[in-house]
Chains A and B, each alone.
Chain A
Amino acid sequence: MDAEPSNDPEPSNDPENSRPVVEMRDISIGFPGVKALDGVDFRLLAGEVHSLMGENGAGKSTLIKALTGVYGIDSGSIVVDGSPQAFAGPRQSQDAGISTVYQEVNLCPNLTVGENILLGREPRRWGRIDYRRLNRKARELLSELELTIDPRSQLGSHPIAIQQLVAIARATAVSARVLILDEPTSSLDADEVAELFRVIRRLRDAGTAILFVSHFLDQVYAISDRITVLRNGQLVGEYLTAALPRVELVSAMLGRQLDALDEVADSAAMATAVQSDHPLVRIDEFGRTPAVQPVTLDIRRGDILGLAGLLGSGRTELARLLFGADRATSGRLEVNGKTTTLRTPRTAIAHRFAFTSEDRKDEGVVGDLSVRDNLVLALQARRGFARPLSAKTKDALVTKYMEALDIRPRRPETLLKNLSGGNQQKVLLARWMITEPELFILDEPTRGIDVGAKTQIQKLVTELARDGVAVVFISAELDEVTRICNRIAVMRDRRNVALLDSADYENNLTTLIAGSSS
């Protein structure tokens, strides 16, 4: 897990000796009311992996969009390979050798892998696409990355991780000098991340300059040679990864010493204290074939029950069953001792259940509605359309929760899609907090959001539990689960393999998740 800048075969990383592939100087970009970037310098060297770090709103995305030509710059200069550039659009940036792979794979799932890799550059013969050559070329490109994917297979038939690697192969097909990876790991599990990193290192060793953005500190330290930190649209500094301890990185990003994590641990301990003995929800042999094998569990008020496991272990599937998002095919669910069938989410909501999905964009955010409408959506839906909340009640609720969760910008009329990921997530949490739930099911609430918002959300969860809400908490990050949950149900291969109390975390958790064979 240690960064190994010294292993780099390319000319040393000493910036004085190698000319940067990309040099951005004094970049400023303003939006109405906001200065998104304010005189930021940034450089990218050949054969390095360079992480761009910062909270949401720090200007990471804006800087990337300036480099990819999506935004024009107000002032400053961008030099790529020694020649000054004034990008008028993404096309020019691509022509200058800059390729981007986004968090959500931007390819066509209904085309084959080969077609995707060479889309727009298909080898042609008599004006028609020469599929033999196309597939041969795609296979070559894939094998350069040591990937064995059949270029004739349909892209959509592969898991996201493979699709992401195909996207990278596509980027290399344009012989990119610069590869930008924007949150590439947020939907990958550990093995897939390792595979991705292998490919990244290979490209780096071949001299590609790689700009890497991730919220996972572990990954940043594992892969990057250099780190640039932004805060509030300004440059904080550029560091060698090896010379920057984690604590310093985090405080550079947040601009303050961070004690919040300890605070979180404290309140988790307090939450344990007020737990009651009567389970709020009890599930008995509750499952859905084939997604979840029958599970038996109690969930008490004040509990923070973690569901730990790898992707596909059944953790998300179980959460959806608990909320009635999918229907259980076996077993019983009791709420306050009474057996209930959750036919739809509405049934669950009537029992004061709440649920935020791991798929924030597709299953949570109503992007074209204002923050205000999004906040009151669940409450309004429960009341029914005929009993609208009065403007006054709405305003009071919206003001209260925007303050309490520190949702920025503090403008309720802003469309939700224009907020950063962390703030969108807070809006979704607030949407349910407004309904005063008794059981709150949170599936990956902190995924893909910055450290500051993450801490705020963790704190919020423990506070909810302290107020007597039963919480089911899912996270891919074990640290997070162990820190805030007082019990953990370990899921593996679609079944619940163990239920741990906080005392047992250290010894067993990783082995249980990984399975006995390893």
Chain B
Amino acid sequence: MIKRLAATPLIWPVIALLALLALNAYLTPGFTSIRVQDGHLYGSLIDILRNGAPTLLVALGMTLVIASRGIDLSVGAVVAISGALACAHIGSSEDPAGVGTVLTAMAIALAVSAVLGLWNGTLVSILGIQPIIATLVLMTAGRGIALFITEGQIITVSSPPFKVLGAGYFLGLPVAILVSLAVFVVVGLLTRRTALGMLLEAVGINPEASRLAGVRSRTIVFAVYVFCGLCAGIAGLMIASNISAADANNAGLWIEMDAILAVVIGGTSLLGGRYSLTGTVLGALIIQALTTTVYTVGIRPEITLVFKSLVVVLVVLMQSAKFRALFTSWRRRPGRRQVGPTARPTPVTSAGPAVADVTPDHDDTKVRQP
């Protein structure tokens, strides 16, 4: 396992995460301790997992979108809409604490999230609009819609069943963690146990070749946006549930950036194609651990973002084969290096793919349109 990990780019996010956790453990006594209280698990590590759950959910959806050569900037807006819809429904109902009310509210929110994903999917896969532009539409309009739903107010609700998703516990673990974990497992099984993952990667790597090979590229791209919308919807419910309120202005603000970052840190190329869900989980955890570190280390708020960006730059640089080659090429000749997101660091593994008479690797320089 360790050997396999060492051969993949995932080693760097793992190291970064462990380093962050170690730093915290060193600075905060009891950081690693997990205690049981009222049958619930508590501790900083659990907090990181729970607070990172919404970002992780959004990032999972984003991973598949990015694998299809796309991007979804509208997830933050969908988070806001989803939370706003649920709170508006619960707030205006006769029985805000009723389980039925809460389930209806969630169903409405998720259905609308799926429809929003459908909208993105239509723009991208049927009308052929560039993903970044297509989803920018909803990114801008969506927050307006959320504000419209909440009428510009922060809607607070008092509904114990609604609180379960974001702040509740099940079998000692926060429900938020369990939900995001479940989504991760389901997506993992759905894409890797079926052929969906391979077909999705094929579409992301070469859409035209995939179409000619009979892959339903359009359907796949479409589905991926719907799924991403759904993930953002669940995340929106989680965030609203955690604070028992819908804040249309701030819920999910910049979450699209965190999600994209998590995907990239996890080693999935923004150019589409090969993706790693495990990498995305690591990426989301790194981002959350960073936020926690900022608090525990006591970094002044003015430089919080600078600190965050430094760590991110470091992780991304370490993942870049080109960057690592800068160090190795002082000792080695330049010819050996393999460039590209999926390339191995240096030919230490015997499974190096280099073959005599390799076709000209224009792929390195050619930037594909997202």
- Distance from A431 Cβ to chain B, minimum over Cβ atoms (Å): 7
Q: Does A152 have its Cβ within 8 Å of any Cβ on chain B?
A: no
Q: Does B215 have its Cβ within 8 Å of any Cβ on chain A?
A: yes
**Are A355 and B212 also in contact (CB < 8 A) when A233-B356, A421-B359 are?**
yes
- Distance from B300 Cβ to chain A, minimum over Cβ atoms (Å): 42
Q: Does A306 have its Cβ within 8 Å of any Cβ on chain B?
A: no
A388 touches B354 (CB 8 A): no
Interface residues on A, range: 35 or more
What's the Cα separation between A369 and B198 when bound, in Å? 8
**Are A33 and B215 also in contact (CB < 8 A) when A364-B209, A365-B206 are?**
no
Interface of chain A residues 84 through 108 with chain B (CB within 8 A): 88-89, 102-104, 106
**Are A417 and B354 also in contact (CB < 8 A) when A366-B206, A367-B205 are?**
no
Additional pairs, 20, CB under 8 Å, beyond known A61-B360, A366-B205, A366-B206: A31-B347, A31-B355, A34-B354, A37-B356, A61-B358, A66-B335, A72-B334, A345-B214, A357-B209, A368-B274, A369-B198, A378-B214, A385-B196, A388-B193, A409-B355, A413-B351, A415-B353, A417-B359, A418-B354, A420-B359
Q: Does A386 have its Cβ within 8 Å of any Cβ on chain B?
A: yes
Q: Does A56 have its Cβ within 8 Å of any Cβ on chain B?
A: yes
What's the Cα separation between A89 and B333 when bound, in Å? 10
18 residue pairs bridging A and B, Cβ less than 8 Å apart? A32-B352, A37-B356, A59-B357, A61-B358, A102-B362, A345-B212, A345-B213, A355-B212, A362-B206, A363-B212, A365-B206, A368-B205, A368-B342, A373-B198, A385-B195, A387-B195, A414-B353, A420-B355
Q: Which of B334, B355, B362 contacts A104 (CB 8 A)?
A: B362
Interface of chain B residues 142 through 191 with chain A (CB within 8 A): none
Q: Does B273 have its Cβ within 8 Å of any Cβ on chain A?
A: yes
Q: Mark B205-220, 1 if CB is under 8 A from A, else 0.
A: 1101111111110001
Q: Which of B214, B273, B274, B342 contacts A381 (CB 8 A)?
A: B214
- Distance from A354 Cβ to chain B, minimum over Cβ atoms (Å): 9
Q: Does A217 have its Cβ within 8 Å of any Cβ on chain B?
A: no
B352 touches A31 (CB 8 A): yes
Interface of chain B residues 324 through 370 with chain A (CB within 8 A): 333-336, 342, 347, 349-363
**Are A369 and B202 also in contact (CB < 8 A) when A31-B355, A409-B355, A418-B358 are?**
yes
Q: Which of A34, A382, A386 contacts B356 (CB 8 A)?
A: A34
B354 touches A31 (CB 8 A): yes
Q: Does A325 have its Cβ within 8 Å of any Cβ on chain B?
A: yes
**Are A377 and B355 also in contact (CB < 8 A) when A363-B208, A388-B195 are?**
no
Q: Does B92 have its Cβ within 8 Å of any Cβ on chain A?
A: no
Interface residues on B, range: 35 or more
CB nearest neighbor in B for A37: B356
A72 touches B333 (CB 8 A): yes
- Distance from B120 Cβ to chain A, minimum over Cβ atoms (Å): 21
**Are A345 and B211 also in contact (CB < 8 A) when A102-B360, A367-B363, A417-B359 are?**
yes
Interface of chain A residues 376 through 420 with chain B (CB within 8 A): 377-378, 380-389, 409, 413-415, 417-420
Q: Does A424 have its Cβ within 8 Å of any Cβ on chain B?
A: yes
What's the Cα separation between A36 and B206 when bound, in Å? 29
- Distance from B339 Cβ to chain A, minimum over Cβ atoms (Å): 11
Q: Does A264 have its Cβ within 8 Å of any Cβ on chain B?
A: no
CB nearest neighbor in A for B333: A72
Q: B residues within 8 A CB of A471?
A: none
A365 touches B360 (CB 8 A): no
B202 touches A377 (CB 8 A): yes
Q: Does B37 have its Cβ within 8 Å of any Cβ on chain A?
A: no
- Distance from B207 Cβ to chain A, minimum over Cβ atoms (Å): 10
Q: B residues within 8 A CB of A418?
A: 353-355, 358-359
- Distance from B64 Cβ to chain A, minimum over Cβ atoms (Å): 13
* B194, B202, B356 — most chain A CB neighbours (10 Å): B356
Q: A residues within 8 A CB of B359?
A: 61, 417-421, 424
Q: Does A346 have its Cβ within 8 Å of any Cβ on chain B?
A: yes
What's the Cα separation between A182 and B206 when bound, in Å? 25
Q: B residues within 8 A CB of A184?
A: none
Q: Does A139 have its Cβ within 8 Å of any Cβ on chain B?
A: no
What's the Cα separation between A382 and B216 when bound, in Å? 9
* B208, B210, B349, B353 — most chain A CB neighbours (10 Å): B353
Q: A residues within 8 A CB of B273?
A: 368
Q: Does B201 have its Cβ within 8 Å of any Cβ on chain A?
A: yes
Q: A residues within 8 A CB of B210?
A: 366, 377, 381
CB nearest neighbor in A for B196: A385
Q: B residues within 8 A CB of A59?
A: 356-357
Interface residues of B (CB under 8 A from A): 193-196, 198-199, 201-202, 205-206, 208-216, 220, 273-274, 333-336, 342, 347, 349-363
- Distance from A352 Cβ to chain B, minimum over Cβ atoms (Å): 11
Q: B residues within 8 A CB of A56?
A: 357
Q: B residues within 8 A CB of A345?
A: 211-214
**Are A381 and B216 also in contact (CB < 8 A) when A362-B208, A373-B198 are?**
yes
Q: Does A29 have its Cβ within 8 Å of any Cβ on chain B?
A: yes
Give the dominant DSSP class at B's interface: loop
- Distance from B310 Cβ to chain A, minimum over Cβ atoms (Å): 30
Give the dominant DSSP class at A's interface: loop
Q: A residues within 8 A CB of B351?
A: 413
A32 touches B216 (CB 8 A): no
Q: Which of A57, A344, A384 contacts B357 (CB 8 A)?
A: A57
A365 touches B209 (CB 8 A): yes
Q: B residues within 8 A CB of A380?
A: 195, 198-199
- Distance from B360 Cβ to chain A, minimum over Cβ atoms (Å): 6
- Distance from A108 Cβ to chain B, minimum over Cβ atoms (Å): 11
What's the Cα separation between A66 and B336 when bound, in Å? 11
**Are A349 and B356 also in contact (CB < 8 A) when A29-B335, A413-B351, A417-B363 are?**
no
What's the Cα separation between A364 and B195 when bound, in Å? 19
Interface of chain A residues 410 through 444 with chain B (CB within 8 A): 413-415, 417-421, 424, 431
Q: Mark A316-327, 1 if CB is under 8 A from B, else 0.
A: 000000010100
**Are A58 and B209 also in contact (CB < 8 A) when A72-B335, A345-B214, A415-B342 are?**
no
- Distance from A8 Cβ to chain B, minimum over Cβ atoms (Å): 30
B215 touches A377 (CB 8 A): yes
What's the Cα separation between A88 and B336 when bound, in Å? 12
* B209, B352, B361 — most chain A CB neighbours (10 Å): B209
Q: Which of A29, A58, A346 contacts B214 (CB 8 A)?
A: A346
Q: Which of B195, B214, B350 contacts A349 (CB 8 A)?
A: B214
Interface of chain A residues 237 through 251 with chain B (CB within 8 A): none
A373 touches B355 (CB 8 A): no
Ordered nearest first, which 8 A-B pairs have the shortest CB separation? A72-B333, A71-B335, A32-B352, A72-B335, A36-B356, A31-B354, A381-B214, A385-B196
Q: Which of B205, B216, B361 contacts A369 (CB 8 A)?
A: B205
CB nearest neighbor in A for B344: A32
- Distance from B49 Cβ to chain A, minimum over Cβ atoms (Å): 31
B360 touches A36 (CB 8 A): no
What's the Cα separation between A382 and B350 when bound, in Å? 35
CB nearest neighbor in A for B354: A31
What's the Cα separation between A191 and B241 when bound, in Å? 72
Q: Does A469 have its Cβ within 8 Å of any Cβ on chain B?
A: no
Q: Does A73 have its Cβ within 8 Å of any Cβ on chain B?
A: yes
Q: A residues within 8 A CB of B194?
A: 385-386, 388
**Are A33 and B336 also in contact (CB < 8 A) when A102-B360, A346-B216, A366-B209 are?**
no
Q: A residues within 8 A CB of B336?
A: 31, 72
CB nearest neighbor in A for B352: A32
A70 touches B335 (CB 8 A): yes
A381 touches B206 (CB 8 A): no
A381 touches B363 (CB 8 A): no
Q: B residues within 8 A CB of A362?
A: 206, 208-209
What's the Cα separation between A366 and B76 when bound, in Å? 33
* B196, B334, B347, B358 — most chain A CB neighbours (10 Å): B358
What's the Cα separation between A69 and B352 when bound, in Å? 21
Q: B residues within 8 A CB of A325?
A: 212
